[in-house]
Structure 1
Amino acid sequence: MDAARVTRALAWTTVVLAVADVVVAAQAVPLTSETAIAVHGFPFVELAVVGSAVLGALIVARYPRHLIGWLLTIVGVTGAVSLVTEAYAFWVQENDGPGPAALGDIAAWLSTLTGGQVSIAGLALMFLLAPDGHLLSRRWRYAAWVIVVGAALCLLAVLTMSPIGYHLLTDEAQMGPTRRLALSVGFLAIIAGLIASVASMLVRWRRSSGDQRRALRLIALAAAFPAIGVVCLLVVQSLNGDRQTWAAALPLFVSYFLMPVLFAVAALRHRLYELDVIINRTAVVVAGVVFAAVGYTAVVVTLGRVVEGTGRGFWLSLVGTAVVALAFQPLRRGVVRLANRLAYGQRAQPYEALADFSRRLAAAPPPGALMPAVAETAGRAVSAPGAVAWLDVPGGEPLTGTWGDGTAGWGHTIPVRLDGRVLGTIGVALPRGRDLGDADRRLLEAVAQQAAVAFGNTVLAGQLAAHVDELEHTTHRLTRSRLRLVEADDAARRSLEATIGREVLPLIADLPTRIAAVRTDVATGGAATGIDGLVTDTNRALEGLRELSRGVFPSQLARAGLEPALRTTLARTDRAPALSVDGVAGLRFSPRVEAALYFCCAEAARRGGSALQLGLDGDEVRLRVEGLDTGGLDLEAIADRVGAAGGTATAEDGVLLVSVPASPAGVAPRG
């Protein structure tokens, strides 16, 4: 037999025993008398034990191993046993009720054994463990041991007495000093444990927040009331000569009755143990049974009057059954809808939340609104106090959206998958002691399935936006590079023009006049005295033009290749760096590659480079220049020229590194 059936049977047993207690107690004493209310606690104790047993059975039906449910059930059952045996013993021993005297003695002994000390100890343990069935910390185990030891001392004191001859109003002399001491110490230990459980509940309440804090507030009140009632009982009895009167006992009995009431309100309002689900199903079953019975009877009676005396009883029964069967399904849907509305609160039926989420997705919300919407749908679908949705964005920060209270942590997560890829995660925060059931997991999976497409679209939109930004950035870089190349070309033209005007034109500007003078001298038979100066100036002009041509584009580079052109240029440069070549001797590359490397070397030579290393590394030509003055180096111009050939250029700590694809001659390089 499973736990749910056991607790359900115990709950029904408690109800039966409580009814029997009322019947027996009514025979022994008037139910409205002071004895019935102040001594026996009618009707508060009867209602309390029934409420405890039913509440415990509901909790165990959902969580078979939950200690709170079992403690409530035990408190209810033992309290019911104590009540009915006490009522019978009082009837037999005080009012000469039916049955032998020995049976009354045994009932009195059993009532004391299962009486107040067991109930108070069970309540103390329950409040020490509430609401999740675990101690607040390991150090609170000492309080639990105090309660257990106190209950054990009380039980031992009663167990060591003979049931035969035991009287409800046993005096201290009959019990003996040892038993009295054990009872006193045990009861004080139970009271101390009850006070400790109230303190533990207050600590939990101070550390909690949100729905859990509001639920613990009610449970703390349920724990504080019995403690106050016990203190009131002890104080009043110490003042009135140990007599149990209205003033002494009523606060304890009322607090005992309020305990399961407050506990149930906290559990239902804040969904501590998912009792709403069980009550939902119970409402459907009860409504169905009532409708089947009442509906069938009404239809049969109504039709019976119409066809009375016709002898059609069989057909009447068949028609009644058909009418009830046809009407039951619409009624069941209405009852389920109403029960869901009452049980689930704002989320109504869980799939209503999914339908609302579908409508919100149809509006294509932006990522900033999508993530909170997913979190809200997940939280409302499973009645979680808080929820969160994560979306992993490739190459960027993840997008998140939260809803509700997440202080309990996102301990329950469901991945969001699309085509086998995990795009993100949905997490919910549940109170301690509650876990996701199969129905809750199916709901979260349904939310994840609906969110998967939206997540995928968000990722694609993000990637598209990133590509657009990257393309725009690349376009801007190319535009700036083009502008720099144009500006560099214009600057080079202006520099060339200025150099020619400064170094070449002065030498050749008067050549026509000087040549005409020499021709006149020769024609008249005179000496050509200006011919030597003319030759000298012409040679100087040619040499200047030759020097200028090396900075523009050397013909040797196109004719002989990169290495010969570099060596010729470096040979004509003062303090030229040493050139070392590895693997490129005799090789020809595309004009763009050769021009890029040549002008990088020429610029480096002008900036004081101390060593040039030119080598072939796989399918790339690498240039390394050391000892550069990088402060005066126009790195942007070099990077633009190298980038036009599909390569890269970096300069750091006086070292220039250039890498260009080794495109063979006649093949345009990439880039």
Structure 2
Amino acid sequence: MSARLAWVLAGLTLAFVIGDVAVTAAYRPLFSEAAVAEHGFPFTPLAVLGSALMGAVILTRYEGHAVGMLLNLVGVVSAASLLTEAYHLWVLEAGGPGPMGAAAVAGWISSLTSGQVAFAGLTVMFLVAPDGHFLSPRWRWVGGLVLAGLVLCTLVLLSIEPTSFRLRDSDIGAVRGPVFTIGFALIGFGLIAALVSMGVRIRRSAGEERQQLRLIALAVAALVAGLANSLVVQSLNGGRQTWAASLPLFIAYVLLPLAFAVAALRYRLYDIAVVINRTVVLAVGFAFAGIGYTAVVVLVGRLVDTRTGDLWLSLLATAGVAFAFQPLRRGVIRVANRAAYGSRAVPYEALSSFSRQLGDTPSATELLPAVAEAAGRAVAARRTVATLLGVDGAVVDSSSWGGEGRDPATVGHVVPVRSEGSLLGTIQVDVLRARPLRASDERLLAALADQAAVAFRNAALEAQLAEKVAELDRTTRDLAESRSRIVESDVVVRRDLEEAISHRVLPRLVALPEQLRSARVAVASGDPAHGLDALVAGTNEALEALRELTRGVFPTQLARVGIAPTLRTFLARADPAPTLNIVEPVASRRFPDRVETAVYFSSVEATRLGAASIALRAEGDDLVVEIEGLAAREVDLRAVVDRVEATGGSMSTVDGGLELRIPAAEPARTAPV
């Protein structure tokens, strides 16, 4: 069903309701027991009009929605039933105008479109509320039973002669009566099943959706209780419609559109606040115009007591109503906003509430949700996103309100949050295209952004401080780990050195005294060469063992001649030895002791880990060491990293190799020749 047709049917419902009130008032007091308990005034007219309007509002937002169509159709059909019933009773009981046959047909139409149609339509609507779909395919059988009951009731009424129909004393027969009862019982069973279905939906829901469903479930429960009360009381009083029998059911009926309205306005069901706002404005405007026009025409007509000036009288009435409505227009819009948006009707109340929240100095995690919610409620937004930016413009944090994803039916509006010319964050507001931001809304958002600016700055500073503290914590941990590794490495080196001296050097030194005695004996016996050769060989072995042990330990050659000759000497004894490439002027320069020491020990560690080549070059104030053959292997480079970072340098991966960059800003020394 299209929205235009729904509003036509809603207008037709209003006309039927007005006609029903006029006809009912013509033959009995409106607040008598007969009018209230039997005809349902004023509850039933309000209920059917509210249902038709709520259905039209829903269809305006979601065309073809099952809940909207059912509400709209139930409203217009029930309104037609009320009017035809009132006319039927007026003619038959109070001698109203019109033939008896027409009144009988009106009563037959009223019976054909009365309670069973309303209850069947509402039951199916409750089964598919709020999304327009059954809870599961199995629940379609309940809808089928309800429709079957409606068909049985309709067939019974269609079999009755319309021109002789009487609402109060028609005997539908021994067969039709049970069939009609069975049909209505099926509808009643479906209504109870709808209440169960709503309970299952509530159990599976959470948050705002649960609040929406609870209101609808309340309407279903009230309708079931009202119907049960009516059946029990009428079974006890002989079938008479009294206050006790009818009033609970009629009150439950009028609660139905109210429950949907509260769910829509308070808990954002169907997102129809904008449509309700416009509907209230138009309804009040039309009512004011109609009442004002009628009052002016009647009063002025009686004063002048003439019919010759009807045209001028109508023009006068139209102009008078138009001028009278203008001063009231702002108040009407305020009332409509209050009805549609609740606290958002006075948006600066939201701004004041937000200011009070800022007074509590919220943290960054609480600030952004508060800003997003305040902005969204202030301008009736579909979704808002508050974003906090850092000094460099990077996003520090963000929070959304009203939904996770962007609705295609909305358009975005971004409000910057600035302080002293610097951008601290943004507030993005997504509103429906049907209701773009007004100038007052933009001013309100700007005021909210100004209020939030100081809090944003404090939150940004807090985030930066937290980041610095975290960075210091990481640095402290890294330094502690580096110190632990250096201490551990020093212990390991000392242990290895002591063990190597004990096993490789001391045995040769212990043998030297014996070799000296052998040499003395050889000299004394006239064979000095033999004794001296053994002594020289043992001494050389001990010295060679000491040289092997000192590989990787700080060499005296490094302090004496510099990094280039020392590395060449070290790599000449290494097996396998990486290729060494020293680019001028590094080979002929001296660098600070800390730089040469870091380069030497890093090269020794890289050689131990199996490096394929080592290259040294100068680049500005930095000494760069390029190591190939380690990047593709899983090796522990912590010792190298510790050495380089201790001098303020850094290590990075470049073209599949490792690059050590060590600052060498101190004046270089000329290497000795």
Normalising by the residue count of structure 2, what TM-score does the alignment of the two structures yield? Answer: 0.62
Partner Cα separation in structure 1 for residue 360 and residue 244 of structure 2: 66
Distance 1:339 1:259 in 2: 21
Structure 1 residue 197 and structure 2 residue 186: aligned? no
- CA deviation vs aligned residue, 1:82-108 (integer Å, no higher than 9, x gap): 122223333445566543343233222
The aligned residue for residue 217 of structure 2 is 220
Write out per-residue CA displacement over residues 459-479 of structure 1, whole angstroms, 9 at most, x where no aligned residue.
985896588669978998999
Counterpart of 1:551? 555
In structure 1, C-alpha distance between the alignment counterparts of 2:330 and 2:34, rounded to whole Å: 50
- Equivalence for 1:229: 226
Question: 1:578 offset after TM fit, Å?
Answer: 1.2
Is residue 2:143 matched to residue 1:144? yes
Deviations 1:349-394 (A, max 9, x none): 4477579879999999873554133223233235579977465889
Write the mapping of 1:240-639 to structure 2, written as runs, cut at 5 A: 240=237, 242-270=239-267, 272=269, 273-274=272-273, 277-278=277-278, 281-282=281-282, 285=285, 332-333=329-330, 336-337=333-334, 339-341=336-338, 343-350=340-347, 353=350, 367-368=364-365, 370-383=367-380, 389=386, 399=397, 410-412=404-406, 436=432, 438-439=434-435, 450=449, 551-554=555-558, 557-558=561-562, 561-562=565-566, 564-567=568-571, 570=573, 577-582=574-579, 584=581, 589=586, 591-592=590-591, 596-600=598-602, 613-616=612-615, 620-622=625-627, 635=639, 639=642
- Please give the alpha-carbon distance, in whole angstroms, between the structure 2 residues aligned to 1:42 and 1:60: 28
1:166-202 deviation line (CA, Å, top 9, x unaligned):
44333233xx73x545423321121111112222333
Distance change >3 Å, CA 441–CA 154, structure 1 → 2? farther
Higher Rg of the two aligned structures: 1
Query: Quick check: 1:68–1:133 contact (8 Å CA) kept in 2?
Result: yes
Measured in 2, the distance between the counterparts of 1:559 and 1:252 equals: 102
2:123 is matched with 124
Q: Distance in 2 between matches of 1:204 and 1:30?
A: 44
Name the aligned partner's letter for residue 69 of structure 2: W
Instruction: Assess if the C-alpha contact under 8 Å between 1:379 and 1:385 holds in 2.
Output: yes
> Tell me, what secondary structure is at the counterpart of 1:584?
strand
Conserved? CA contact 2:582–2:616, under 8 Å: no
Distance of 2:240 and 2:287 partners within structure 1? 48
Q: Following the alignment from structure 1 to structure 2, what is the Cα–Cα distance between the partners of residues 44 and 479? A: 80
Secondary structure of the 1:580 match is: coil
Q: Which amino acid aligns with 1:639?
A: D
Paired residue type of 1:82: S
**Which segments of 5 or more consecutive residues in structure 2 lack a partner in the other structure?**
301-314, 418-422, 488-535, 618-623
Give the letter aligned to residue 81 of structure 2: S
Structure 1 34/347 Cα, relative in aligned 2: closer, same or farther at 3 Å?
Answer: closer
TM-score by length of 1: 0.62
Deviation at 1:50, TM superposition (A): 3.1
2: distance between equivalents of 1:611 and 1:368?
A: 51
Which residue of the partner structure matches residue 14 of structure 1?
Answer: 13
Residues 458 and 439 of structure 1: CA distance in aligned 2, closer, same or farther (over 3 Å):
farther
Pair 241,444 (structure 1): closer, same or farther in 2 beyond 3 Å: same
Residue aligned with 1:561, SS = helix
Contact in 2 for aligned 1:639/1:649 (Cα 8 Å): no
Using the TM superposition, give the Cα deviation of residue 130 of structure 1 relative to its aligned residue in structure 2, in angstroms: 3.5
Q: Is the 8 A contact 2:149 2:184 kept in 1?
A: yes
Aligned twin of 1:163: 162
SS at structure 2 position matched to 1:171: coil
Question: Are the counterparts in 2 of residues 354 and 447 from structure 1 also a CA contact under 8 Å?
Answer: no
Q: What does residue 640 of structure 1 align with?
A: 643
Matched, 1:109 2:132: no
> 1:622 touches 1:659 (CA, 8 Å); kept in 2?
yes
CA deviation profile, 1:597-624 (whole Å, cap 9, x unmatched) = 444566899xxx5977543499743288
Residue 435 of structure 2 aligns to a residue whose secondary structure is: helix
CA distance in 1 between counterparts of 2:123 and 2:373 reads: 38
Name the counterpart of 2:180.
183
Find the counterpart in structure 1 of residue 83 from structure 2. 84
Report the 3-state secondary structure (helix = DSSP H, G, I; strand = E; otherwise coil) of the residue aligned with 1:615.
strand
Question: Per-residue deviation at 1:46?
Answer: 3.1
1:59-88 deviation digits (Å, cap 9, x = unpaired):
445554444333233222211211222233
Q: Helix, strand or coil: the match of 1:578? A: coil
Measure the CA separation in 1 of the matches of 2:625 and 2:563: 22
Q: Which amino acid is the alignment partner of residue 399 of structure 1? A: D
SS in 2 for 1:172: coil
Post-superposition Cα deviations, 1:400-437, rounded to whole Å, max 9, x if no partner, equal 5577xx8xx63557696989x99888699xxxxxx955
What SS class does the counterpart of residue 614 from structure 2 fall into?
Answer: strand
Query: CA 1:648–1:586 in structure 2 vs 1: closer, same or farther (change >3 Å)?
Result: closer
CA, structure 1 residues 353+95, in 2 after alignment: closer, same or farther (shift >3 Å)?
Answer: closer
Of all paired residues, the percent bearing the same amino acid is 39
Residue 343 of structure 1 deviates from its aligned partner by 4.4
Question: RMSD between aligned alpha carbons?
Answer: 6.1
Instruction: Quote the offset at 1:114 in angstroms.
Output: 0.8
Distance 2:112 2:229 in 1: 23
Are 1:378 and 1:444, in contact at CA under 8 Å, matched by a contact in 2? no
In 1, the alpha carbon distance for the partners of 2:554 and 2:202 equals 88
Other-structure match for 1:45: 44
Query: Does the C-alpha gap of structure 1 residues 37 and 474 become closer, same or farther in structure 2, counting only changes over 3 Å?
Result: closer
Give 1:36 deviation, angstroms: 4.4
